[in-house]
Amino acid sequence: MQDEEKTREQLIAELVALRQHVAELERVNQELDAFTYTVVHDLKRQLSLILGFSSALEEEYVAVGKEMINRLGIVIQSGHKMDSIIDELMLLVHVRDLSGLAITSLDMGSIVDEALHRLAHFISRQKAEVSVVDDGWPQAVGYEPWIEEVWFTYISETLRSTAESLCIVIGSTEQADGSGQFWVRADDSRLTPEQQASLAQIYERFRPGLVQRIVDKLGGTFGIIEEDGQSKGLFFTLPAAT
């Protein structure tokens, strides 16, 4: 009887210790989130100044020569890259829990426009074109900032191609169950076989990371578009708005 009493007391003590440990982990996570928010906002504020002054200098010193413009262009490009990394860090803080997020029916056209606006500088520098096939976006649900980041990531990957006059095609396909498949690919008709093979390698080496966490949380899927044994693009799916 005494042994049973001791065992019960030990179990209670272990349970109390476990609850205290869980509470401590939650407290640490909250502190980490608060710290990350502070760092992110400070970085964004300083980066905005760098980009603002760099853009002003680029416009003011056009007459100085190509070398100065090229150098300023590198600064601006690096600044935009830093900006996207900071945005991803911010998203990673959120992608732990859906509670409190505005999961809504998505205006996919507007979301794509926002992602393209963020990438306008890179698209212009690479003399690329973007064609949005809008035959009516499937009605899907999700969290807009996350989905914008998925589009941003997919388009950025495609922009890694060094093909001249690259034409990026963005579109969607409604699935039989009403869910939407959304995709990014290049216009094959404007690529040589060598360029197609190079772009296929870019897609195959793509590491989903953030994209995987986002679409998993939202109940979707992601992957590579395969045609004739070659990687042609990237896609993700989202549940239908019912």
Q: pLDDT, tens digit, for every residue of 138-156?
A: 999 999 988 998 999 999 9
Query: What pLDDT was estimated at residue 201?
Result: 92
Statement: residue 218 has pLDDT above 60 = yes
Superfamily of domain 104-238, CATH level 4 = Histidine kinase-like ATPase, C-terminal domain (3.30.565.10)
CA pair distance 122, 129, nearest whole angstrom: 11
* Token representation of residue 130: 């973007």
Query: What pLDDT was estimated at residue 26?
Result: 73
pTM higher than the cut 0.85: no
CA pair distance 114, 103, nearest whole angstrom: 18
* Token representation of residue 135: 């035959």
| Torsion over CA: 195, 199, 201, 202 (sign) | positive
Burial class from Cβ neighbours inside 10 Å (0-12, 13-18, 19+) for residue 58 reads: middle
Burial class from Cβ neighbours inside 10 Å (0-12, 13-18, 19+) for residue 228 reads: exposed
| Torsion over CA: 235, 116, 138, 91 (sign) | positive
Query: What pLDDT was estimated at residue 110?
Result: 95
Query: What pLDDT was estimated at residue 38?
Result: 62
Statement: residue 239 has pLDDT above 80 = yes
Residues 6+ apart with CB under 8 A from 76: 51, 54, 55, 58, 121
- Most confidently modeled of 31-40, 45-54, 64-73, 227-236? 227-236
* Token representation of residue 229: 């044994």
CA pair distance 158, 163, nearest whole angstrom: 10
Confidence of residue 96 (pLDDT cuts 50, 70, 90): low
Query: What pLDDT was estimated at residue 94?
Result: 63
Statement: residue 54 has pLDDT above 60 = yes
Q: Percent of the chain scored above 90 by pLDDT?
A: 31
* Token representation of residue 223: 């992957």
Confidence of residue 24 (pLDDT cuts 50, 70, 90): confident
Query: Higher pLDDT residue, 213 or 215?
Result: 215
CA atoms within 13 A on the CB side of 32: 11
Nearest residue to 183 (alpha-carbon basis) of 150, 213, 209, 208:
150
Query: What pLDDT was estimated at residue 34?
Result: 61
Query: What pLDDT was estimated at residue 13?
Result: 78
CA dihedral 102, 103, 107, 109 (to 10 degrees): 100
- Is residue 161 within 8 Å of residue 205, measured between CB atoms? no
Where along the chain do its domains lie?
2-94, 104-238
Type of residue numbered 34: A
Nearest residue to 197 (alpha-carbon basis) of 241, 221, 162:
162
Confidence of residue 63 (pLDDT cuts 50, 70, 90): low
CA pair distance 119, 132, nearest whole angstrom: 15
Q: Percent of the chain scored above 70 by pLDDT?
A: 75
